[in-house]
């Protein structure tokens, strides 16, 4: 079963949703899944060099009380999934275009899910600037990719247009928030839903597939 996950590398709910999906897949070990991560830009206006995160968050979300409430809610939900968010370590709000390029290239090597996990950990747990090519090269090497090749690709415009086109397509499909899960190119579920909800949709998609083959 193919599951397309539309996500952004700086989306904390996408990190939570990834963990919940992993648990859902474990509940259906008899099914072979083909997971594809697709790009989305939570904010396409962020410059390629990124922005100071504190300034960015204040401009986007307003007063500190509101931001603190959001942060605490995310930390609580993350803790349920074994994610210890370290928001205070994050100094930059990166542009995520290059991180999506890296995710795209990782698919060829069959380690797309591993790269997505590493990007989330680097940003949310280690506070790394995942918009920095040097950081992306380091992370690529960390998961077994050829960092020299990745550096050469990042220095050029390889797949820039493809990533931007895919992200634009998500908007044209009516997707306005992430994570969004698409099961068997048919069933769409938005948000970091609990694992039991994801399993219900997986079962429904599987039933539909079986009906078609009968």
- DSSP strands (E only) in the chain: 2-7, 34-39, 51-52, 92-93, 180-183, 187-190
- Measured CA to CA, the distance from residue 210 to residue 205 in angstroms comes to 9
Q: Which two three-digit tokens encode residue 51?
A: 């922005």
Q: Provide the 10 A C-beta neighbour count for residue 63.
A: 8
Q: What percent of the chain has pLDDT over 70?
A: 99
pLDDT at 171: 92
Q: What is the CATH number of domain 2-213?
A: 3.40.30.10
Q: What's the pTM value of the predicted model, to 2 decimals?
A: 0.95
Asked whether the beta carbons of 148 and 89 are under 8 A apart, the reply is no
Q: Which two three-digit tokens encode residue 170?
A: 């998500």
Q: What is the DSSP string of 84-142?
A: ---GGG--EE---HHHHHHHHHHHHHT-HHHHHHHHHHHHHTT---TTSHHHHHHHHHH
Residues 62-112 have pLDDT tens digits of: 777 878 888 999 999 999 999 999 999 999 999 999 999 999 999 999 999
How big is the chain, counted in residues? 214
């Amino acid at each position: 079963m193919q599951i397309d996950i539309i996500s952004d590398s700086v989306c904390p709910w996408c990190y939570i949703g990834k963990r919940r999906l992993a648990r859902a897949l474990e509940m259906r070990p008899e099914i072979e899944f083909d997971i594809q991560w697709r790009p989305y830009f939570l904010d396409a206006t962020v410059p390629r060099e990124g922005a100071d995160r504190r300034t960015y968050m204040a401009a986007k979300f307003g007063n500190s009380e509101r931001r603190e409430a959001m942060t605490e809610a995310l930390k609580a939900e993350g803790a349920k999934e074994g994610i210890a968010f370290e928001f205070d370590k994050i100094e930059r709000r990166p542009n995520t275009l290059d991180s999506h390029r890296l995710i795209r290239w990782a698919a060829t090597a069959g380690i797309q899910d591993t790269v997505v996990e590493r990007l989330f950990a680097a940003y949310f747990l280690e506070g790394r600037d995942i918009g920095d090519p040097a950081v992306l090269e380091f992370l690529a090497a960390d998961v077994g990719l050829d960092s020299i090749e990745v550096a050469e690709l990042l220095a050029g415009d390889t797949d820039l247009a493809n990533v931007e086109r895919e992200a634009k397509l998500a908007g044209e499909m009516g997707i306005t928030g992430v994570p969004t899960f698409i099961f068997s190119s048919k069933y769409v579920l938005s948000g970091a839903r609990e694992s039991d909800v994801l399993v219900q949709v997986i079962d429904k998609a599987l039933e539909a597939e079986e009906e078609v083959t009968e």
